[in-house]
Amino acid sequence: MEIAHQPEKKSKLTLYIVIAMALGVLAGYLIHENASAAFIKDFGPKIKLLTTIFLRMVQMIIAPLVFATLVVGIARLGDLKTVGRIGGKAMLWFISASLVSLFLGLILVNITKPGVGVNLTNTDAEGIKDLMSKSTEFSLAKFVEHVVPRSLIESMATNEILQLVVFSVFFGVALTAIGKKGEALISALDSLTHVILKMVGYVMMLAPVGVFGAMCAVISSKGLGILTTYAKYIGSFYLGLFVLWLVLLSVGYLFLKKRLFVLVNRLRSPMMIAFSTASSEAVFPKLVEEMERFGCNNKIVSFVLPLGYSFNLDGSMMYMTFASMFIAQAYNITGVTGDIGVQISMLLVFMLTSKGIAGVPRASLVVILATCGMFNIPPEGIGLILAIDVFCDMGRTMTNVLGNALATAAVSKWERQLEHT
């Protein structure tokens, strides 16, 4: 599947998203300060419906887009040897980036110590109960169920990207093996991809509306005061993301040279959508389009990007060590905060457990909750960060998008499949 690289009018989508975000914060603040508690409780879920509509419209595109692009990409790669080579390079990037993210989070949280002196009464009991019910599902059996699909239809219905990737790899390899008999189906799936990407353009017109709803809902409910209460925690985490960005962009520059700046410019709209909606899914279709317009080979984009959504969540990986150490500091668990060996053990556990629960709402928190118990960190400590998790989720989701875009571009360059557009 090729996207024509024609001159584009300068997109105003990023500007509209920024304006919508500002208006959402302003409207949410005015409502929080002036409306009654009963009105705010009723208003939040209703205004958030704007975001729900946008996200559901994006979600309806993801499954057919992943399936069609991945199958066509694999079929056109030609053989298993090529698939294995590109997959190996992608996994090397993913594992390296994940380890760097985890170690940076661990180092910075030990330096800034945002959990020291935290008020332990600021917990969210209802939120803890919800997460506990999800964390009980974490096991080897659930990991296997998460990875291996029992039904393509079920995987599409639940947007299980990793399961779709597994099925699509098998389907693409089989389609390649039958030779000319499969050419008509490859052509049909290629046409399907063009149709879906056309739909992406229509759906993205609703992005500012979804952004407004998301920001207005959270600020009207929490108010701006929640940011000052947890200023040290949020500030420390975003400092960590900033350092991680520097590392990722520096490595990206080694591969892309000056074209890195072109890529970052192309990522403005996808990253703003990711930041304001705190949803990686909301960005996937647009990211596929932008990576191909940047010049990445469509075969590599359709293969590496879906893999990245399951294995390369750099922002989320950093957050896992950061949040778990924050809780340990708040409860003064010296067996964790004072033992670097235990911390590294926890880091390695996160490296493994994080791959088995992607796609679950609040996935990072679920993994943290499931893992903390192994190191005697009180599970109720999650309640300390639930109230402001959405603000951290914005940053880590945007970082996930950047990490996956850089991985895709780097593998394309590595394979000498990056065009100059």
- And the tokens for 180? 């000319």
DSSP 78-132: -SHHHHHHHHHHHHHHHHHHHHHHHHHHHHHHHHH-TTTT--TT---HHHHHHHH
At 388 the pLDDT is 76
Task: Tell me the mean pLDDT in the region 158-183.
Answer: 83
Task: Tell me the mean pLDDT in the region 152-167.
Answer: 82
Task: Tell me the mean pLDDT in the region 412-421.
Answer: 82
Mean pLDDT of the chain: 82
Please calculate the CA angle 155-160-162 and round it to the nearest 5 degrees.
110
- How confident is residue 4, by pLDDT bands cut at 50, 70 and 90? very low
Answer yes or no: are the C-beta atoms of 123 and 383 closer than 8 Å.
Answer: yes
Please calculate the CA angle 243-246-250 and round it to the nearest 5 degrees.
150
Task: Tell me the mean pLDDT in the region 8-15.
Answer: 62
Task: Tell me the mean pLDDT in the region 361-388.
Answer: 73
At 5 the pLDDT is 40
Distant-in-sequence, close-in-space partners of 38: CB < 8 Å, separation ≥ 6? none
- How confident is residue 202, by pLDDT bands cut at 50, 70 and 90? confident
Answer yes or no: are the C-beta atoms of 48 and 214 closer than 8 Å.
Answer: yes
Q: Which 8-state DSSP code applies to residue 418? A: B
What are the sequence ranges of the domains in the chain? 13-414
Share of the chain above pLDDT 70, in %: 86
Residue 418 main-chain phi, psi, to 5 deg: -110, 115
Report pLDDT digits (tens) over 334-349. Answer: 888 888 888 888 888 8
More confident residue, 290 or 281: 290
At 139 the pLDDT is 57
- The residue type of 136 is T
At 355 the pLDDT is 61
pLDDT at 243 over 70: yes
Region of residue 218 (left: phi > 0; alpha: psi -120 to 50; beta: else):
alpha
- How confident is residue 9, by pLDDT bands cut at 50, 70 and 90? very low
Sign of CA dihedral 130, 166, 267, 367: positive
At 18 the pLDDT is 84
Task: Tell me the mean pLDDT in the region 183-209.
Answer: 86
CB atoms within 10 A of CB 194: 14
At 115 the pLDDT is 81
pLDDT at 310 over 90: no
Distant-in-sequence, close-in-space partners of 170: CB < 8 Å, separation ≥ 6? none
Task: Tell me the mean pLDDT in the region 238-242.
Answer: 94
Task: Tell me the mean pLDDT in the region 363-381.
Answer: 75
Distant-in-sequence, close-in-space partners of 262: CB < 8 Å, separation ≥ 6? 294
Q: In terms of CATH architecture, what is 13-414?
A: Orthogonal Bundle (1.10)
At 175 the pLDDT is 87
Q: Long-range pairs for 370-374 at CB < 8 Å and ≥24 separation?
A: 370/135, 370/138, 371/320, 371/324, 371/346, 372/324, 372/327, 374/346, 374/349
More confident residue, 78 or 197: 197
Highest mean pLDDT among 144-148, 177-181, 276-280 belongs to: 177-181
At 97 the pLDDT is 93
> d(Cα 325, Cα 334) in Å, to the nearest integer?
11
At 269 the pLDDT is 87
Q: What is the signed CA dihedral for 90, 93, 95, 98, rounded to 10 degrees?
A: -130
Task: Tell me the mean pLDDT in the region 120-134.
Answer: 52
Answer yes or no: are the C-beta atoms of 399 and 238 closer than 8 Å.
Answer: no
Residue 150 main-chain phi, psi, to 5 deg: -105, -15
At 15 the pLDDT is 83
Measured between alpha carbons, how far is residue 190 from residues 75, 193, 258 in Å? 11, 5, 32
More confident residue, 135 or 326: 326
pLDDT at 407 over 90: yes
Task: Tell me the mean pLDDT in the region 302-322.
Answer: 85
CA atoms lying within 13 Å on the CB side of residue 217: 20
Task: Tell me the mean pLDDT in the region 113-118.
Answer: 80
Task: Tell me the mean pLDDT in the region 28-57.
Answer: 88
Task: Tell me the mean pLDDT in the region 178-194.
Answer: 87
Task: Tell me the mean pLDDT in the region 45-62.
Answer: 85
Minimal CA–CA distance to 384: which of 368, 397, 400, 395? 368
> d(Cα 419, Cα 421) in Å, to the nearest integer?
6
At 8 the pLDDT is 42
pLDDT at 10 over 70: no
